[in-house]
Structure 1
Amino acid sequence: MDFDRRGRLRGPYAMDKDDMQVTETLNEGLKRSYAITVTADELDAKVNEKLKEAQPDIEMKGFRKGKVPMPLLKKQFGQRLLGEAMQETIDGAMAQHFEDTGDRPALQPEVKMTNDDWKEGDDIQVDMSYEKLPEMPEVDLSSVTLEKLVVKAGDTEVDEALKNLAETAQEFKDRKKGSKSKEGDQVVIDFLGKVDGEPFDGGAAEDYPLVLGSGSFIPGFEDQLVGVKVDDEKNVEVKFPEEYGAENLAGKDAVFECTVKAVKEPVAAEINDELATKFGAEDLAALKAQIAERLEVEYAGAARQVMKRALLDQLDEKVSVDLPPSLVEAEANQIAHQLWHEENPEVQGHDHPEITPTEEHTKLAERRVKLGLLLAELGQKAEVTVTDAEMTQAIMNQARQYPGQERAFFDFVRQNQQMQQQLRAPIFEDKVVDHIAEQATVTEKEVSKDDLEKAVEALDDE
């Protein structure tokens, strides 16, 4: 006889209270297989139980409601309930098994009937196989030592940001008479577009201010206006994209007859109190204070990513555990697939050759799976949760990527469990990381902006 760690019989001697036989057939690493036998008597009892539950509401000719005899109900509905009873009984056996053993399957268990010649009155033979999640070892979080990089927003950084802000508020002034337009200039034009020699709706405008290089017109249009002067007349020849919104123009060759009325160069706004008020600040000093605060928030976010990588590296070194091969394989395939698409951005769909993960992909997958399981375990023990308010904020942040469709996106996420999990997972991970950092020894180190940028760039190189 063989006993498990809880003192229960295992192997062919193990049975539950309903005499449902559960026999272990494989115990190798994290792999487990069991042969489950559901007796015909147990299945019959389940069908009778279902009929008894439904009896009070059943009406049949010749009988009062709820008074139809059980034998007649069984003859009428028993066959129909048999499949449902089989599924519920097997599901119940699996749930009881996981409760008794404490096993947590890495993926959905594989379950199949083995007696293909089953007929009513026979016992049901089922095989159940799965890989269990490993038991994660205890980690002394106080032994984790971290360095938190701190960057102060000095005058140089604030002035640089202020200069960039002024450029976004740029204005345009006329170039010297006879000057040719350059990339970034604004040209004021009248234009008339024609396809096959005929004007088309929406193809004409007067005094239109166009910034060359802005990409606001169809490809090739703005390029042909680089080098023009005031009073020039220019025929711009372009081809509408095949996927252009207006079907009557999609893929068509067009000629735009343009008259240049002004050529203007960009001029950055002056850095003064007036600029500050444009951005909602009381004066220039207040705007500088706002910029310094925003920069330090950005620096803190970047420094957190550097510290988080160091934390995960230490956890990776501290923890050694067997991993479910199925999870590692699935993660490696996902990594390989994602990297392939990044290297081949022109392929939008999945109609491409089979992608085989490399040893490097598998190694990265092992790290991700191990750290994912460890963080989940630590988060569960610390009772880390993602609040409704945090989820709502995450959904709203994502919804902003779909202007005008925010409400539809919000409703879509609310009805999609998988999408909710994709949004919840990074929030949960960050909260667990914060929890670990609170237990760890953290020292602050003041560095320059350049040093922080180098540390962030190093993350991408690893």
Structure 2
Amino acid sequence: MQVTETVNEGLKRGYKITVTADELDAKVNQKLAEAQPDVEMKGFRKGKVPMALLKKQFGERLLGESMQEAVDGAMNQHFEETGDRPAMQPDVKMANENWQKGDDVQVDLNYEKLPEIPDFDASEIEIEKMVVTPDEEAVDEALQSLAENAKSYDAKDGAAEDGDQVVIDFTGSVDGEVFEGGTAEDYPLVLGSNSFIPGFEEQLKGAKAGDEIEVKVSFPEDYQAAHLAGKEASFATTVKEVKAPKQAEIDDDMAKNYGAEDLEGLKGQIRERLSAEYGQAARAVMKRRLLDILDDKVSFDLPPSLVQAEADQIAHQLWHEENPDVQGHDHEKVEPTDEHMKLAERRVRLGLLLAELGRKNEIQVSDAEMTQAVMNQARQYPGQERQFFEFVQQNPQMRQQIQAPLFEDKVVDFIFDQAQVSENFVTKDELQKAVEAMEEEDALE
């Protein structure tokens, strides 16, 4: 077996692999010898079938297997000896397409290898961590929000106003026919909540208990029930009660309704939640700054195929965001711009850098971490959690999509642990401005 280099340009590599006819013949004979003891054939005892007959019977099929194994073995040996790691799937083609039995096998192997990632000293990185301590104003805002959610409604005399709750019976019909899902009794509807079809709630303002009203509306053109989309409907509605909102008192009783022992305990829970939210936002800003530092600090050659593939994906994704009505992917190819290529280079550079740092330091995503991440995503599909789990188990690409950000965050935390991190105590508004600036940068990218 011979391996001859044909291309050595930057990260591009090309080789011609030659497997001689004698090597193939020897491999076929080896396979036949290994199988001979178990072969049974009419006229011969088990294990006594002559090699010549076995070769005539099975040689052609084993020749194809031997060719594939020989080429795969040569490629694996090559990658072990050179230490090359292909950036993408190598291109492997038969060089002698008119190959016939008895000829040597020649295969062209071409690929772009992953670059050598230079080492860097993470302890030299200086980065700031924004720290926000929840103030009493933020706690009070959260308490007011909880009180708003906990408010009750008491019956009132007079006409219904915006913010009031009306208890109604209604029957909906289209073209005189009652439709499924358009009937309810004792339904509590808060006027101004915009929870019903546009125009419905407005027609109940000024109504009193006992009023019977015919509410006429039109379903939106994009209504989820296609048979009702754009149709005019009539709802025979009876107002049974009108109730005014009653704000919940911010006291120990309200706190107990939210699972706390008393009001001070609820405030403590709010501070913990706010601290966690501020911490997550601050970490996102800190991570973005770290990636900017790494992008500027570490430089190396990038595999053109990876950059092109990433740029194509960016251009395709942005095109669909600009053309939301196009659901399929059978449109004309979207050519990436210079900006797309620049962003692709950044993403590929940082991706390779973080991947190599994780590999060298044996950073891995544990089964428990992966399971927890899948569970978190499964909650987005109430009642279909099991189906989601099964889908992830059967879909390697989906598992990779879930695992990739987990791995990246673990590598980022590894760098944070070694870097020089200084704390900067800021206000909530200052943190918010930093988050908005980060999101604007992401949008521009």
- Report if aligned partners of 1:240, 1:254 keep a CA contact under 8 Å in 2: no
Taking the TM superposition and a 5 Å limit, the aligned residue runs for 1:23-62 are: 23-62=4-43
Secondary structure of the structure 1 residue equivalent to 2:365:
coil
* In the alignment, structure 1 residue 382 sits paired with structure 2 residue 361: yes
Deviation at 1:431, TM superposition (A): 0.9
Amino acid at match of 2:264: A
In structure 2, distance between residues paired with 1:446 and 1:244 = 48
Change (3 A) 1:260 1:445: same
RMSD value, Cα:
2.2
Which of 76, 90, 98 aligns to 1:95? It is 76
The reply on whether 1:145 has 2:126 as its aligned counterpart is yes
Worse overlay, 366-375 or 339-348:
339-348
Residue pair 2:374, 2:389 contacting (<8 A) in 1 also:
yes
C-alpha distance in structure 2 between counterparts of 1:88 and 1:212, whole Å: 73
Which stretch shows the higher mean deviation, 204-213 or 266-275? 204-213
Tell me which of 222, 227, 230 is aligned to 2:200: 222
**1:147–1:442: 8 Å Cα contact kept in structure 2?**
yes
Structure 1: which amino acid aligns with 2:20? T
**CA-to-partner distance for each residue in 1:189-237, whole Å, 9 max, x for gaps?**
12122233233454333322123455654x4363553534121512324
Matched, 1:233 2:226: no
State how far apart, in whole Å, the 1-side matches of 2:431 and 2:67 are. 61
Tell me the residue number matched to 2:411: 432
- Alignment counterpart, residue 339 of structure 1, candidates 318, 324, 349: 318
* 1:70-101 Cα shifts (integer Å, max 9, x gaps): 21111111112222221121111111111111
CA distance, structure 1, for counterparts of residue 104 and residue 418 of structure 2: 55
Would you say 1:262 and 2:262 are equivalent positions?
no
Report whether the alignment pairs 1:85 with 2:66.
yes
C-alpha deviations, 1:400-426, integer Å up to 9, x for none? 111111112112212222211111111
State the AA in 1 paired with 2:214: K
Q: How big is the shift at 1:111? A: 0.6
Instruction: Specify whether residues 240 and 81 from structure 1 end up closer, same or farther in structure 2 by C-alpha distance, changes over 3 A only.
Output: farther
Q: What residue number does 1:448 align with?
A: 427
Distance 2:21 2:435 in 1: 64
Alpha-carbon shift at residue 328 of structure 1 (Å): 0.6
The answer (yes or no) to whether the contact 1:212–1:222 under 8 Å persists in 2 is: no
Distance in 2 separating the partners of 1:326 and 1:192: 61
Corresponding residue number in structure 2 for 1:154: 135
CA distance, structure 1, for counterparts of residue 111 and residue 125 of structure 2: 34
Give the distance between the partners of 1:203 and 1:342, measured in 2 at CA. 34
Name which of 34, 39, 46 aligns with 1:65.
Answer: 46
Paired residues of 2:191 and 2:205 also in contact (CA < 8 A): no
- Residue in 1 that maps onto 2:289: 310
Q: Secondary structure at the match of 2:4?
A: strand
Paired residue total: 439
Identity %: 66
Contact residue 94 and residue 106 of structure 2 kept, 8 A: yes
C-alpha spacing 1:322/1:187, structure 2 compared with 1 (3 Å): same
**Are the aligned partners of 1:213 and 1:222 in contact in 2 as well (CA < 8 Å)?**
no
Give the secondary structure class of the aligned counterpart of 2:354: helix
Gap change, CA 1:168 and 1:69, over 3 Å in 2: farther
1:124 to 105, 122, 127: 105
Alignment of 1:291-302 (within 5 A): 291-302=270-281
List per-residue Cα deviations over 1:250-300 (Å, max 9, x = no partner): 776532211223343444322111111111111111000001011101111
For 2:264, the equivalent position in structure 1 comes to: 285
Q: Distance in 1 between matches of 2:104 and 2:370?
A: 48
Q: Secondary structure of the residue that 2:159 maps to in structure 1?
A: coil
Picking from 335, 350, 374, the partner of 1:371 is 350
Which of 169, 186, 208 is 1:190 aligned to?
169
**Which amino acid in the other structure matches residue 30 of structure 1?**
L
- Asked if 1 retains the 8 angstrom alpha-carbon contact of 2:86 and 2:111, the reply is yes
SS at match of 1:342: helix
Partners of 2:212 and 2:236 within 8 A in 1: no
Q: Read off the aligned partner of 2:129 and give its amino acid letter.
A: K
Gaps of 5+ in 2: none
Q: Which moved more, 1:278-287 or 1:353-362?
A: 353-362
Q: 1:173 to 1:360 in 2, by over 3 A?
A: farther
Distance, in Å, in 2 between the alignment partners of 1:359 and 1:266 is 57
